[in-house]
Amino acid sequence: MQSQASAADLSAWASVPWSPVTDPDPDPDAASITTGTTTGTTADTPIGWHKAGVPYIPSGKALSLQTLDVWIPSSGNNHNAPDASSLPHLPGTWIIYIHGGAWRDPAISASSFTPAATNLLLRAITTSTTSKKIAGLVSLNYRLSPHPHHPSPPNDDPARQARHPDHITDILTALAYLHRLGIITKKENWILAGHSCGATLAFQAVMSPARWGLSPDALTAAAAAAAVVGFNGLYDLAGFIASPPRGYEHLCEAYREFVSGAFGEEEEGWRAVCPATAGAGGAVGWVGEWVGDGDDDDHRKRGQVVLVQSREDTLVPYQQLEVMRAVLEGEERVAMRVMEAGGDHDVIWREGGGRMAEILWEVVEGL
């Protein structure tokens, strides 16, 4: 399946060893893990394996942020790390995650998925074999735009000079790399999730790359995730900046600053890139780019969208979800669900990642 991977792809993969992941909150009574029937984990038994910072542009050409993190559940009672060159082989669904941070925050990275990933690994190894399986998890770094208030690490880092479409280019480049490695193989075996601007990027990643002037075969078969899950996502930036909802007016200038930093000053450009406004005249042209235009009512041919937004989010108003929901409602090729979450903007990934993991688990089970 990884026949398309080049020697350089495989050597980039093997350049990072697998390190053990253990349960941060082990069960004191548990003796050992037997996959499929486990009731608890011990402190020293790996629940999975993690590669941190795999360069997804091989041959030493990746910038510091052109890397990804991978986690795989441990199989059986094996305490030995897989060889660095060994590729994931478990069947099941891959969850690919895109972090937020307004396209520019150097303090938020792929590793922000660690709490949710750890929670998902635990679920994967302690749940009965009859349920749908998680094959593994990936969290993507991508180049950022400069941040005027975060000079450290240095703003002159070449990985922090990105301008649209660089962020999307990196996401698509990473997905193509995972495709060549045989990790994401077909629509049914992966879902794409993102938080905040990562949710914007997740939807942009299923649209035609031609929208951003990128070559359409940059992605090919990897283009179609079975589901896109947006957590506290940004879907209509122009709408927010033109008329922020009550209670969020004070954020207008901050939004204008990071939106201009990522996409330039033109409001028209902001509309063209946002998933709630990227269709002409309200029609969502990109749904066809994602799932195809056939009027086939086969459920599996529809794209699944899950929108999650906390009403207690002080940075992103619930209205962003409502605008996106209104645009996708009545779109027959999309099966949409809205799910609840609480807490402020970053709580969903920061505090244990429990709710994020629960939602992603449920989405995978429902595929």
Ligand X SMILES: N[C@@H](CC(=O)c1ccccc1NC=O)C(=O)O
| Nearest-CB residue for ligand X | 196
In contact, 225 and 193? CB cutoff 8 Å? no
Contact between 51 and ligand X per CB under 6 A: no
The yes-or-no answer on residue 345 being catalytic is: yes
Structure tokens at 297: 């009512």
Contact between 143 and ligand X per CB under 6 A: no
E strand intervals along the chain: 19-22, 46-55, 67-73, 93-98, 134-140, 190-195, 227-231, 303-310, 334-341
What x-and-dash track marks residues 249-268 binding ligand X by CB under 6 A?
---------x----------
Indicate the residue among 47 and 102 with the shorter CB distance to ligand X. 102
Rounded-to-5 percentages of helix, strand, coil across the chain: 35, 15, 45
- Candidates 74, 139, 196, 310; catalytic one: 196
In contact, 51 and 34? CB cutoff 8 Å? no
We find the least distance from the C-beta atom of residue 113 to ligand X, in angstroms, to be 14
Contact between 349 and ligand X per CB under 6 A: no
Contact between 101 and ligand X per CB under 6 A: yes
Neighbouring residues of 118: CB distance < 8 A, sequence distance ≥ 6: 21, 23, 24, 47, 48, 71, 353
Buried b vs exposed e over 103-113: b needs ≥16 C-beta within 10 Å? bbbbebbbebb
Indicate the residue among 199 and 223 with the shorter CB distance to ligand X. 199
Q: Contacts with ligand X in 308-327 (CB under 6 A)?
A: 315-316
**Of the residues 23, 69, 105, 289, which one makes contact with ligand X according to CB under 6 A:** 105
The yes-or-no answer on residue 167 being catalytic is: no
- Candidates 69, 236, 345, 346; catalytic one: 345
Indicate the residue among 75 and 111 with the shorter CB distance to ligand X. 111
Q: What is the DSSP letter of 126?
A: H
Say how far apart CA 299 and CA 263 lie, in whole Å: 35
Contact between 69 and ligand X per CB under 6 A: no
Contact between 100 and ligand X per CB under 6 A: yes
- Candidates 105, 170, 313, 346; catalytic one: 313
Contact between 241 and ligand X per CB under 6 A: no
Indicate the residue among 250 and 299 with the shorter CB distance to ligand X. 250
Stretch that binds ligand X, among 36-44, 54-62, 94-102, 349-357 (CB under 6 A): 94-102
Place of tokens 């929901």: 325
The yes-or-no answer on residue 196 being catalytic is: yes
Q: What 3-state class would DSSP assign to 147? A: coil
We find the least distance from the C-beta atom of residue 138 to ligand X, in angstroms, to be 19
In contact, 116 and 353? CB cutoff 8 Å? yes
We find the least distance from the C-beta atom of residue 194 to ligand X, in angstroms, to be 9
Say how far apart CA 297 and CA 300 lie, in whole Å: 8
Residues in the chain, total: 367
Where does this chain bind ligand X (CB under 6 A)? 100-102, 104-105, 147, 196-197, 234, 258, 315-316
Catalytic positions, written as ranges = 196, 313, 345
